[in-house]
Structure 1
Amino acid sequence: MKCGVCVTPGQFEIITAEKPETAPEGWVLLDNCAVGICGTDYHIFEGKHPFLNYPRVIGHELSGTVAEDAHGWSKGDLVVINPYVACGTCRACRRGKPNCCYNIEVFGVHRDGGLCDRLAVPAGNLYSAEGLTKVEAAMVEFLAIGAHAVRRSEIAADDRVLVTGAGPIGIGTALFAQLQGAEVHLLDKSRTRLDFVSSKLNVANCHLVGEGLLTGDLAEGFDTVFDATGSVAAIQAGFALVAHGGSYVLVSVVKDDITFADPEFHKREMRLIGSRNALKVDFESVIEALRTRKIDGSKLCSEQLSLEDLAIRLPELASNRDTLIKAVVTL
């Protein structure tokens, strides 16, 4: 079978590997259908991911069909794949938080991912994608990241919320904050991206970096700020955007240390929340939102391409994402 591999930073190749015909005990064989290419994959290609060893088959935003009957699944069932393989025995897992398992292995990061024809996945990591297209099912994981962050934030319907970073994760976060009834604002440095989000996804309050956000009614800041930028400078600047009594949720991950002024942090009685990956409840809420068209998945997929196309265009996609929301490889 063909596999898309980041051999080293800046080097992506299609290689041939043996197609698995058996799965470990408790796992299910899947024929992969579609793979979303996300910021993590671009960071891997660029050598910016903090938790990765090369070479690596990338791809963790996955949909597939069951290759053979197993563990209650029938051959041909379309499924969404939760790519976070938890140990089940560490303290986090025992407390119902497998998303931050001490020994976690994420497909496409800690172990080879799904940019290939076939993959074995733990049976408990599969969720029915009935009612979704194969491409929609491949976009569930990135939306679940935002849904998880919103759920952790405990925002209320009358809260004023700011999401910094209008990439796929930030957009997903904004959409699920809107579903909670919050007044949602989005901040980004790309006018093109903000115009898309405003016109196509109905996020009305879009702000361009550098335009003086904390003025007028917004002078006291936001009840909850979500960072989805992947930028150290943006994360550090975000502390000043949190209102007194508010919360700051760090959704993106960076390699570097983050610093902030302790007096400013304390006078706000600010909550600082890390949000990592997602849980089953988040995947299920995203699947339901897509199935019922509360979120229109068709507007999130910028383009579909083949594995061969990706090998040619990955440098371009990684370097120029101004107009790109989500590229999906169909297999």
Structure 2
Amino acid sequence: MKALVCNEPGRLTMVSQPDPVRGEGEVLVRIRHVGICGTDFHIFAGKHPFLEYPRVMGHELSGTVDEAPDDSRLKKGEPVYIVPYLSCGTCQACRKGLTNACRNIRVLGVHCDGGMAECVSVPESNVVPTGNIPLEDASMIEFLAIGAHGVKRGNIAAEDRVLITGSGPIGMSAIIFAKARGAHVTVMDTREDRLAFAVDRLGADATIFADGSAETEASRQTGDEWYDVVVDATGNAAPMQRGFNFLAHGARYVLLSVVRQDITFSDPEFHKREATLIASRNAQADDFAEVVRQIEAGRVPTRALNTHRGRLEDGVELFSQWSRPDAGVIKAILEI
């Protein structure tokens, strides 16, 4: 089979390698579409802390069933998407149903080879029928589920005033699912084009430009009451720390981002607000299901989110192009 391999930072190669052999309890999936994630760009740039090269990237995957166990609920040729988090099923987190926080988790395309290839073999529990969703759209379900999980973790409700910092793809997914719950959503970023997209295409209610006057503007917009929920999707330590400045009394602060640096905050300010700090990692089965429901309901502008498309065969050239900030990528998808 063909596969796109990141041999080392900055170097991709299209190779031919043996097809995977389906293991016991696994399903062999013929990959059709692969969404390109910020994680993939970090791997390409050599910035991912949990990765060894060479690696076949790709964890936003859709395809068709090629081979399944005899007693499987899945049929050959059936359209499916893949949940890329391979959990152990036995650790303390898994026993509680928190498979997204498995102590021994392996993520396709990060800890083991992923789906920038013609086939993968994964446990049947990680393979889900797409229903009425086109395969191209199904390859976006995983990144959308990240935002849906963060919104769920923040317990966002219709009466909440929400600030989402960072309007990349993950921030956009948080906007979509916060709005689906009826919240009033403000988006903060340094890119005017992304702020305009958040309002025009995602239904955000207000925006704040993330310059030195952002706190003043947030205070003005909220009548000095600030935000019931702040969701950080910046992937940068400085704005993650700054996010504490925007918390209302009794607020929740959800960190969708993860960085290697320490994050610090003023304990007296945090305590007097009786604020809650919440980590959000990966996603769970109900988050994927929520994404499917919202896509089927027409509340996810999939065509607007999928800004760039190409073939796996052209991946070496396309990846270099799409990784540039001026490329304007929101979500790029490779077709196989």
Structural mapping, 1:28-43, within 5 Å = 28-43=27-42
Gaps in structure 1 of 5+ consecutive residues:
none
**Residues 232-272 of structure 1: per-residue CA shift (max 9 Å, x gap):** 11101111111111011000111211111222221211101
CA distance in 2, matches of 1:233, 1:183: 25
CA distance in 2, matches of 1:77, 1:251: 33
Preserved CA contact (<8 Å) 1:192 1:322 = no
Does structure 1 residue 66 correspond to structure 2 residue 70?
no
User: Would you say how many aligned residue pairs link Structure 1 and Structure 2?
Assistant: 330
CA distance in 2, matches of 1:272, 1:193: 26
State the one-letter code of the partner of 2:308.
E
Equivalence for 1:214: 218
Structural mapping, 1:146-185, within 5 Å = 146-185=147-186
Preserved CA contact (<8 Å) 2:310 2:318 = no
CA distance in 2, matches of 1:259, 1:130: 44
Return the offset for 1:133. 0.9
Equivalence for 1:232: 237
CA distance in 1, matches of 2:23, 2:60: 22
CA distance in 1, matches of 2:268, 2:130: 48
CA distance in 1, matches of 2:278, 2:176: 19
| Match 1:296 to one of 290, 293, 301 | 301
The two structures have a TM-score, normalised by structure 1, of 0.96
After superposition, the CA RMSD in angstroms is 1.3
- Report which stretch shifted further, 310-319 or 179-188: 310-319
Query: What fraction of aligned residue pairs are identical, expressed as a percent?
Result: 46
Return the offset for 1:12. 1.8
Equivalence for 1:7: 7
State the one-letter code of the partner of 1:98.
T
CA distance in 1, matches of 2:259, 2:316: 26
Gaps in structure 2 of 5+ consecutive residues:
none
| Match 1:248 to one of 253, 261, 281 | 253
| Match 2:289 to one of 280, 284, 288 | 284
Return the offset for 1:322. 6.7
1:67 aligned counterpart, secondary structure: strand
The two structures have a TM-score, normalised by structure 2, of 0.95
- Report which stretch shifted further, 213-222 or 48-57: 213-222
- Report which stretch shifted further, 227-236 or 251-260: 251-260
CA distance in 1, matches of 2:55, 2:133: 29
Equivalence for 1:91: 92
Equivalence for 1:329: 334
State the one-letter code of the partner of 1:48.
K
1:136 aligned counterpart, secondary structure: helix
Does structure 1 residue 200 correspond to structure 2 residue 201?
yes
